[in-house]
Structure 1
Amino acid sequence: MAQSFYQAAAALPAELSDPLSRLDPEFVRDVTEIRLRTFGPVMLRKPQGVFFLNGRGVLTSELSDAKKMSEALMNDCFHALCGYSVHSAQPQINQGYLTLSGGHRVGVCGTMKQMPDQSYFVQEIAGINIRIARNAMCELPRFLADAPREGILIAGEPASGKTTLLRSLVRWWARTCCVSVVDERQELFPAGQMRPLDCDVFSGYPKHIGMQHALRAFSPQVLVCDEIGAKEDAQAVCSAVNAGVCVVASVHAADLDGLYKREPIRMLLETGAFTKAVFLKGRASPGQVRDIYDLDVHSESAGRRMPPDAGRSRRNNACTAAEIQTGAARTNGGLPAQPWRNAQPAPWPDRRDAAARRTSSRYGVSAGV
């Protein structure tokens, strides 16, 4: 785990990378972010709180002792993270982030200027946030262990472990079926990282292009992508579902209300492209399932919720992180194929009932998508 931190820190100029590389491995193993702000401190974020780097390269919890970032050092950091080629990194910068080797995502903010050709350029860099990517695996609930036959949405707030859960699912499912992954941000399976055997990764492809290529030439049974939300993403998902492929994707939403407040996602859900929404617990428990909702517009239980462990004991979970890594397999153990249907349902908000029971074609593309 510490190696991921050192790899991300090595992309910074020597003035920062040298002291960061000397930090105790036990300390940095759970650092989640390196935050830099112009005239602000060098900040390391951990689950326990934030820590600062002082001018001597030593950690401190006192803000008054923290090393401050000058404008010149911020610009040096920005150029280093761009691989000293801002022009080649510009398409990613225009989306608000960079992806480093190893899948570490770098958020960039500053002053954006529009160029004569209608493109945008970020200058006067004000903030940089490096999110440390780790090739971690998480335990999978029983109902996610078998390769899905219908669409699933993985939902959660930022940093709740959506990518970690998707990566674990792909590694597990690829043992029994053909999986294609459209990894637009190059975070699920970064270059140089070992990939599952029966898995094809379209790295850096825009979702609509990657999905088209997968459908045309790779015959996927399951198509996985990270962070849908734009209208173009919804159209690409609908096209894949209409071609008979099961789509599993992640989305930013803390609860069902948040999911339906996002217009492209709401319109997509009404087509029946996704029949289950899996909500994660949050930052404190990344990758762990909190709730499961039935979104099937033709199901009597549409919109109802169940605890992820209902109907089964924790010891009967389908697979642990270690089993995903080593390839150990488990059988279904005689449990029903859809254990969530045995749970005592909670009522869905009334204002959702009408939307959930619309009689639109199950996989028809909504006019609004």
Structure 2
Amino acid sequence: MKMNWLELFPEPIKSLLEQLPSSMLDRLEEVRIREGRPLEINAAGDHHFVTPGGKLTYRVEDSYKPAREDSHRLLDRISNHSLYTMEEELRKGFITIPGGHRIGLAGRTVLSGGKVEHLRDISGFNVRIAKEIHGASDEILPHLLDRKEKRMKHTLILSPPQHGKTTLIRDMARQISNGSYGNTTVKWPGMKVGIIDERSEIAGSIRGVPSFDVGSRTDVMDGCPKAEGMMMMIRSMSPEVLLVDEIGRSEDAEAITEALHAGISVIATAHGSSVDELSQRPALAALMENQMFEVYVILNRVEGHLNFRILDRQQRSIQLSLPNQKGVDVYG
């Protein structure tokens, strides 16, 4: 069962959020709590502060300002009153809770040997609300099909943070696994899909069971580092398609190369706004230089709608959503 994200918040923050218009709650992506500073929400790129009466405002002086007690209560709820059991999450600076909701943390770092050991005096929270949108990949999936070989093309999806990458690949997993391929008449059977879900955001697994609909033939490796998880999935579950979110390390690139050489289609995401930009990152440069990906999808969200460009292996344009089209509705 998915967690109702509103239940995460302590009073009075929960009551303030419940007073927001339902249209705003449906589009809500982030709730930012900063001790002593305005309570802020982000809905499809539109930022507001929240007043003590549950109204929206842009005025700092009219906003509700969470107190230290609010921070402590929220931290207790996030950690289930056992913060010491979450040392690894605190080292990374975020916690993922049931339902795939990810909570970024800010505070004072404690160092050991020059590296971050954990966080303390946590006073900043960014609650990112995970959304499930069936059909989010309808317009993009047809361009990822190798109709001759009846397989998915090796694909890298690029965008800046919070432009819908995770929502997109969650829907791709569902469709590919179930044998539906977006806006096409293709009648292929569903494929075996493996998701490497290091941050528990794609499938939102609870005790190993996905809380999101990721398809009938999908297996999830939850909470596992991407590189190790890809190799484990290949050895244990024989996937036809691997999906992995936010690659960026050299070991990620090595594992992807192994998967491609094993005949497995890989659909991965990475932060970036262009292929050239990724080529400047040492950990991923070899993947770009060797043209390991057959398709690049460049995402750009405008006013809540996901516009995209699709490039081939040589970075030539295949398809783009036109300016007079709304693109794909993606919030989150």
Query: Which category describes the TM-score, using the shorter chain as reference length?
Result: 0.7 to 0.9
Match of 1:190 in 2: 204
Q: Which runs of 5+ in 2 are unaligned?
A: 180-189, 206-210
Deviation at 1:267, TM superposition (A): 1.7
Match of 1:8 in 2: 5
Instruction: For 1:281, give the aligned amino acid.
Output: N
Match of 2:310 in 1: 292
Q: Secondary structure at the match of 1:208?
A: helix
Superposed CA deviations along residues 179-233 of structure 1, whole A, max 9, x for unmatched, are: 1111111111112333311111112111122212211121111111111011221
Deviation at 1:119, TM superposition (A): 6.0
Instruction: Report the CA distance shift for 1:59/1:303 in structure 2 as closer, same or farther (over 3 A).
Output: closer
- Which of 159, 162, 166 aligns to 1:163? It is 166
Q: Secondary structure at the match of 1:29?
A: helix
Q: Does the 8 A contact of 2:173 with 2:214 survive in 1? A: no
Q: Does the 8 A contact of 1:226 with 1:251 survive in 2? A: yes
Instruction: For 1:308, give the aligned amino acid.
Output: L
Superposed CA deviations along residues 2-47 of structure 1, whole A, max 9, x for unmatched, are: xx9x922311222322332343322311122101112111111123
Superposed CA deviations along residues 26-83 of structure 1, whole A, max 9, x for unmatched, are: 2311122101112111111123732222234444443211111223322332232222
Matches within 5 A, 1:169-184: 169-174=172-177, 175=179, 176-184=190-198
Q: Secondary structure at the match of 1:10?
A: helix
Q: Distance in 2 between matches of 1:82 and 1:164?
A: 25
Compare 36-45 and 231-240 and name the one that shifted more.
231-240
Q: Distance in 2 between matches of 1:17 and 1:134?
A: 19
Matches within 5 A, 1:175-324: 175=179, 176-191=190-205, 192-282=211-301, 284-289=303-308, 291-295=309-313, 302-308=314-320
Deviation at 1:134, TM superposition (A): 0.8
Instruction: Report the CA distance shift for 1:169/1:21 in structure 2 as closer, same or farther (over 3 A).
Output: same
- TM normalised by structure 1 equals 0.74
Superposed CA deviations along residues 129-185 of structure 1, whole A, max 9, x for unmatched, are: 111111113132331366744310011111111111111211111122111111111
Deviation at 1:89, TM superposition (A): 2.1
Instruction: Report the CA distance shift for 1:287/1:221 in structure 2 as closer, same or farther (over 3 A).
Output: farther
Superposed CA deviations along residues 74-119 of structure 1, whole A, max 9, x for unmatched, are: 2332232222222222212222211122111111111110247966
Matches within 5 A, 1:73-152: 73-115=70-112, 120-137=117-134, 138=136, 139-141=138-140, 142-144=142-144, 148-152=151-155
Q: Percent identity?
A: 27
Matches within 5 A, 1:5-84: 7-47=4-44, 49-84=46-81
Compare 242-251 and 142-151 and name the one that shifted more.
142-151
Q: Secondary structure at the match of 1:35?
A: strand
Q: Please tell me the root mean square deviation across aligned C-alpha atoms, in Å.
A: 2.7
More strand by share: 2
Q: Secondary structure at the match of 2:161?
A: coil
Q: Does the 8 A contact of 1:160 with 1:286 survive in 2? A: no
Q: Secondary structure at the match of 2:320?
A: coil
Deviation at 1:285, TM superposition (A): 4.4
Deviation at 1:307, TM superposition (A): 3.3
Match of 1:356 in 2: none
Q: Does the 8 A contact of 2:279 with 2:289 survive in 1? A: no
Q: Does the 8 A contact of 1:52 with 1:61 survive in 2? A: yes
Q: Which runs of 5+ in 1 are unaligned?
A: 296-301, 322-369
Superposed CA deviations along residues 228-276 of structure 1, whole A, max 9, x for unmatched, are: 0112211221222222211110000112222212221112223343121
Larger radius of gyration: 1
